[in-house]
Amino acid sequence: MIRVLLVDDQHLIRAGLRMLCDAQPDIEVVGEADNGREAVSLAARLLPDVVVMDLRMPGVDGITATSRILAERPGTRVLVLTTFGDDDHLYPALTAGACGFLLKDAPPADLLDGVRRAAVGDSPFSQEVLRRLVQRAVHARAGSPPPPQGLTAREQDVLNLVAEGLSNTEIADRLHIGVTTVKTHITSLMTKTGSPNRVRLALFARGV
């Protein structure tokens, strides 16, 4: 069961998200918060697996709340769900430690998939946001140093599958290894390639 904390200052949005999540057999909404300060408090008390986080809220905003939640409990996965997909919101959220970034106009199935992927260590992004990340990375890649050497054969296998967009579970099934082993390889790959998150690792694997 995936324990989820919903954070949004609009009651109607939270109610809709709760109804959507409560209809799933593998997702349990353990709490709701309408501001960042309350989100930090509830995250420390309820210990959710995934926090679905709005960004613009009165008082403590979602970016600050994300940073504080992860400072206290780094294992928590914070999935941003916002109306604002511009760079001024995207990059500060990623810097604060958000594992994914979805827009509120996404289909309900994408949100549920995002929660599930976040819970197993993946990084779900709306296609529009992911395209912009790729475009920005292409421009930033010019003049960058050559990729590091020293990847093991298994790490290369995992890297190729990350580039295909497979989840940790799918990679484990494809390579006939455990999900924990996949996570270990991905952590090693991030260190060796200097990738701060899974998206950057995928971009590295694609040569952009």
Residue 134 confidence class, pLDDT cut points 50, 70, 90: low
pLDDT of residue 15: 96
Dihedral sign, Cα of residue 127, residue 129, residue 135, residue 138: negative
- The answer to whether 103 touches 76, Cβ cutoff 8 Å, is no
Output 144 or 79, whichever has higher pLDDT: 79
- Separation of alpha carbons 76 and 81, rounded Å: 16
pLDDT of residue 58: 87
Which is nearest to 159 in space by CA: 191, 189, 116, 126? 189
What are the tens digits of pLDDT across the range 149-183? 578 888 888 988 888 778 888 899 999 898 889 98
pLDDT of residue 37: 96
- The answer to whether 115 touches 52, Cβ cutoff 8 Å, is yes
Percent of the chain surpassing pLDDT 90: 49
DSSP 57-98: -SSS-HHHHHHHHHHH-TT-EEEEEES--SHHHHHHHHHHT-
State yes or no: pLDDT of 208 exceeds 70: no
Tell me the sheet residues that pair with 22: none
Q: Which region, left, alpha or beta, applies to residue 102 given φ > 0 means left and ψ of -120 to 50 means alpha?
A: beta
Name the CATH superfamily housing domain 2-124.
Response regulator (3.40.50.2300)
Mean pLDDT of 56-67: 92
Q: What is the CATH number of domain 144-206?
A: 1.10.10.10
pLDDT of residue 137: 60
pLDDT of residue 139: 57
pLDDT of residue 90: 85
Side chain identity at 29, as an amino acid letter?
V
Show me where the domains of the chain are located: 2-124, 144-206
State yes or no: pLDDT of 35 exceeds 90: yes
Dihedral sign, Cα of residue 139, residue 140, residue 145, residue 148: negative
Mean pLDDT of 189-193: 86
State yes or no: pLDDT of 112 exceeds 60: yes
Output 60 or 204, whichever has higher pLDDT: 60
Mean pLDDT of 96-111: 91
Same fold yes or no, 2-124 and 144-206:
no
State yes or no: pLDDT of 142 exceeds 70: no
- Separation of alpha carbons 29 and 159, rounded Å: 33
pLDDT of residue 138: 58
Output 99 or 139, whichever has higher pLDDT: 99
